[in-house]
Amino acid sequence: MVEKTDDTLRSLHERGRVAAEYPRVRGLVRGAGVAETRWAGNLLARIGADAVLAEHPDTPVVSVAFTGHSTVSGLVAPVTAELARHGLLLRPHVSDFDGYVFDLSDTASELYSAKPDAVVCLLDASVVFDEVPVPWEPEDVRRIFDEKLTLLDGLATSFAGAGQGTLVFNTLPLPREWTAQLIGVRDRARLGAVWREANARLLRLMDRHPALTVLDFDPLLGADLPLRDDRLGVYTHTEFSPEAHAAYARDVAHLLRAATGRAKKCLVLDLDNTVWGGILGDDGIEGIEVAGSYRGEAFRRLQRTARQVASQGVLLAAVSKNDLDPVREVLRSHPDMTLREDDFVRVVANWRPKHDNLRELAAELNLGVDSFVFADDSPYECGLVVRELPDVAVVALDEEPALHVEKLLRDGWFDVRDITVDDLKRPERYREELDRKDFLHGFSSLDDYLRELDVQVRFADASPAELARVSQLTLRTNQFNLTTERLQQSEVAERAAAPGSLVLTIRSGDRFGDNGVVGAVLAHREGDELVIDNFLLSCRVFARGIEQACLSAVLGHARDQGLRSVRAGYRPSAKNGKVQDFYPGNGFRPAGGGTDGAPTLYRHDLAEIPAPPDHIRLTLSLGGLHQ
């Protein structure tokens, strides 16, 4: 039975136990309604991040500065609640009313001094209409909006030079208050065109500024979501209603979740009454609903949505209580199916508990179960997965298939700022990886397997086109990530351009295909020492000797450049324990650190550099380290 969120949190609060039992909060808030989420956000914001960290010091924290033209304090509670749904804490910095120009243009401002991970600059129509004359015409609005776009462009440039992390703008919704003041319908149409054209230009600022994300407000608005509360707007300069703040906070939380490396990677679908209507074992292949009826069209809509999501690099899998052969027959030959067997990286159909199948699927794909989103129409199956695998994001569908798509997309589980070429190739590469594992079963030893696999590695300076992928690796790689430092694309580019700095990419391939960019090494020179800032490798290519080959190359390159040693660090996290001995296992010796959250340091004197594994074909193109 699902606990009622407000009652449970209220009870914990009354007993002073919210911080102590914070790990429970994620599950409780995740299933809450709008009113319950608002109540939870206010409660959690009052408790604050520090109280939770005192009890659970490993809880991830996101520091966010809120600024804007209007009053922005109303965003803190809903963003707190939305982040709690994803296991994150919010450390907010709230600017004064109408402080965004000063905050972002002055590098000495309190906003920059706070060193936030992200800056959310909330924009609204008053940014423009506060400066139009009275009376006004659509051309006056065009002129003012053009000036504001120039200003915002400049503020994004200032942020790129002085800030860190992500800057968030939003498009400006147009309240009816302003269109209704024009009594000519043609003038209203002109105003609408001016406004939409300006918002389109605002959205395109993302193309010019890698650190900027512009969230589109229009898709959030609907008949049941008031844009503005006039009393709050007039008396407190809060230009968005609490409901609009909550909807916007959800999108902000999705963005922050992705920026901390927590975007999901795999969508796992049930089949009966999820992908198609009916029970395959009872109704037969001819009896299931796929198209040609109202309900059938609803299931086809879900299939089209899943295929669209998968086309952008999300892995698609199926886990169903069914016999495998009939499932394959449906996916291969049913004339009305949109999803086919080749759309899935794996189809699991048996009568075992689904949480066991999900565990095994994660092991096969070399992913954590926290990379999974699982959608099922059965309350029993959903509840069992929530209980047994709390890190899996569960989308509870029901008997109404027309609502499947909205529920699947509501939480933006797979949202990222950019999609790379490697993302688009990910499903194909994971299928190849499953073929590699099948290939492994034919060998009596791992050494024989690796020799026959014919692993090829190119270790080279990152090209400009690869910087987005390097950023993505820092954001999304959790297991082989030695320091867990998260970098936006602009920060990676800054390091790549710095004298004495290395940003290196690891490309791999083998007899089954090209894996693309699977890893990165970031380093810089300090005097006569090379410092490895981070070493990252995709979980898809673990245990093939690639990491040893590239580390050997880094050590050899440092010695060739006349350096005396290489220093590196390891900062433990909940996910990277398997690589804690990577440096000492490759000839590094302890060099201090490891207290107060600092990484444990290791140093290699370059006297004896381990040779790369002989089964690796390694190609090097490493730049100089001149300061």
Domain of 474: which CATH number? 3.40.630.30
Calculate what percentage of the chain has a pLDDT beyond 70: 97
Residue in the block written with tokens 């990379």: 371
Of 144-153, 381-390, 405-414, 505-514, where does the model show the most confidence? 144-153
How many distinct structural domains can be found in the chain? 3
Q: Is residue 207 part of a domain?
A: yes
User: Cα(154)–Cα(130) distance, rounded to whole angstroms?
Assistant: 20
Q: Where are the alpha helices (DSSP H) in 393-488?
A: 404-409, 421-440, 446-453, 467-476
Question: Are 94 and 239 in the same domain?
Answer: yes
Token pair listed for 557: 């390159």
Question: Are 174 and 279 in the same domain?
Answer: no
- What CATH number did the domain enclosing 99 receive? 3.40.50.1110
Question: Are 460 and 601 in the same domain?
Answer: yes
Question: Are 521 and 569 in the same domain?
Answer: yes
Question: Are 347 and 483 in the same domain?
Answer: no
Q: Is residue 38 part of a domain?
A: no
Question: Are 514 and 585 in the same domain?
Answer: yes
Q: What is the pLDDT of residue 98?
A: 87
pLDDT above 90: residue 353: yes
Instruction: Give the 3-state secondary structure of residue 254.
Output: helix
User: Cα(34)–Cα(23) distance, rounded to whole angstroms?
Assistant: 21
Question: Are 483 and 607 in the same domain?
Answer: yes
Residue in the block written with tokens 């991830």: 60
Of 232, 259, 286, the residue that ends a domain is 259
Of 409, 434, 455, the residue that ends a domain is 409
Please provide the DSSP assignment of 509-528 as one string: EETTEEEEEEEEEEEEEETT
Token pair listed for 469: 């992928």
The residue among 419 and 360 whose pLDDT is bigger is 360
Non-local CB neighbours of 337 within 8 Å, separated by 6+ positions: 276, 290, 303, 330, 331
pLDDT tens digits along 23-55: 888 878 876 777 788 888 899 999 999 999 999
Per the structure, the complete domain to which residue 359 belongs is given by: 266-409
pTM of the complete model beyond 0.85: no
User: Cα(73)–Cα(64) distance, rounded to whole angstroms?
Assistant: 12
Q: What is the pLDDT of residue 1?
A: 35
Question: Are 122 and 217 in the same domain?
Answer: yes
The residue among 362 and 512 whose pLDDT is bigger is 362
Q: Is residue 140 part of a domain?
A: yes
Calculate what percentage of the chain has a pLDDT beyond 90: 55
pLDDT band at 234 (very low <50, low <70, confident <90, very high): confident
User: Cα(192)–Cα(392) distance, rounded to whole angstroms?
Assistant: 43
Q: What is the pLDDT of residue 253?
A: 92
Q: What is the pLDDT of residue 627?
A: 59
Question: Are 479 and 617 in the same domain?
Answer: yes
Residues 24, 11: contact at Cβ < 8 Å?
no
Q: What is the pLDDT of residue 78?
A: 93
Question: Are 252 and 277 in the same domain?
Answer: no
Residues 296, 339: contact at Cβ < 8 Å?
no
User: Cα(190)–Cα(174) distance, rounded to whole angstroms?
Assistant: 13
Token pair listed for 254: 């999705």
Which has the closest alpha carbon to 60: 274, 327, 253? 253
The residue among 556 and 261 whose pLDDT is bigger is 556
